[in-house]
Amino acid sequence: MTSIISIADALVTALNGHSFSEPFTAARAYRPAFDLKDMADLHVTVVPHGIEMSMVGRNVAQDDVQIDLAVQKRLSAPENEDAELDALMALVREIANLVRSTRQFAGAIWINSENVPIFSPEHLSELRQFTSVLILTFRVIA
């Protein structure tokens, strides 16, 4: 059966093989936490989140696998804040669209994406950092 790690790795490979409006190199990690001084660079982090396991038939198991995808960057200057935020929000949408259009990662099928809230107001006000997390759900049937 496909593992949560192989799905996360396949997602990283797909992200790094695609051209986006904002350049980045995605990485898999267990927590998307970085020093504030390093946040001037855009970080896209793929984090294994959880698995819901169930039986859907006599000999058929289903795993719904959740992967968090964090997009983080410290804003450069207050006078450019809206333009920077618009570009980062557009990037989150581009990533979500890539996942939806690709649909399959390491044998797992994409079934849902959630982006609520669309960014962290606390990170923005306290750290001047944009943080948005896509929660991606994939289904594996075995």
Residue 1 banded pLDDT, cuts 50, 70, 90: low
| More confident call, 12 vs 142 | 12
Q: Which residues pair with 111 in a beta bridge?
A: none
Domain count, the chain: 1
pTM: 0.92
**Domain around 18:** 4-141
DSSP β-ladder status, 108-114 and 129-141:
antiparallel
- Check which CATH number belongs to the domain holding 41 and give it: 3.30.70.1700
Name residue 54's amino acid.
Answer: S
Question: Per-residue pLDDT tens for 62-118?
Answer: 999 999 999 999 998 888 899 999 999 999 999 999 999 999 999 999 999 999 999
The average confidence (pLDDT) of the chain is 94
How far apart CA 119 and CA 89 sit, in angstroms, is: 8
